[in-house]
Amino acid sequence: MQKLIVAFFALFLLGTTAHAQKYFTRDAKVKFSSETPMEKIEALNKSGTCVLDVATGKMEWKVLIKGFLFEKALMQEHFNENYMESSSFPNAQFKGQITNLSEINFTQDGKYNVKTTGKMTIHGVERDVNIEGTLKVSKGTLEVLSNFVIKPEDYKIAIPSLVKDNIAKEIKVVVSTTLAPLKS
């Protein structure tokens, strides 16, 4: 009988620890910039989403293309209509997996380097990518920061030759956010 009770509690504990804990945000900031001697272009989106399952290291990020705001209305228009074709391809996403999960203690405050691998989809083109970033565990929340580079040609984003000197070959992207536990 005692054994049964122990087994029951062991199972119960296992059940709770194995229960996937998820972290979430709907306020991820995604900023990109293109710098050339001719021109500096910047845009910011403040409503990216991320769901991270810390038990498995799986993560999903998604951002709506029309939500990128530019200082210049004309740039925003060209970005949506000519380059990103955002009516046909309304979002960009990254579905990935943390590859160094064992090096991260999600319950211990501190800063950790995070390595991920996964699939990035932009402009309807899916590519395998490896993206790195940092994760700061602080009082039960996760502060995420990642810098990476996107090449427009990799995602079949055509830049007209007339403006090819105005738009960088490599677009710098910065993603920053704080993930909070998802109550389920």
- Positions touching other proteins (CB under 8 A) are 26-27, 46-49, 62-67, 69, 72-74, 76, 87, 90-91
End-to-end CA distance of the chain: 34
Closest CA to 123 of 151, 89, 80: 89
Total H helices, total E strands in the chain: 2, 9
Structural tokens at position 9: 């509690």
Three-state DSSP class for 121? strand
CB of 26 to other proteins, least distance (A): 6
Measured CA to CA in angstroms, residue 92 lies from 4, 38, 173 at distances of 51, 27, 13
Nearer to other proteins, 46 or 115 (CB): 46
Nearer to other proteins, 30 or 104 (CB): 30
- DSSP-assigned letter for residue 109: -
- DSSP-assigned letter for residue 183: P
Nearer to other proteins, 30 or 150 (CB): 30
CB of 135 to other proteins, least distance (A): 19
CB of 64 to other proteins, least distance (A): 4
Nearer to other proteins, 77 or 170 (CB): 77
CA atoms within 13 A on the CB side of 33: 8
CB of 91 to other proteins, least distance (A): 7
CB of 7 to other proteins, least distance (A): 35
Nearer to other proteins, 42 or 154 (CB): 42
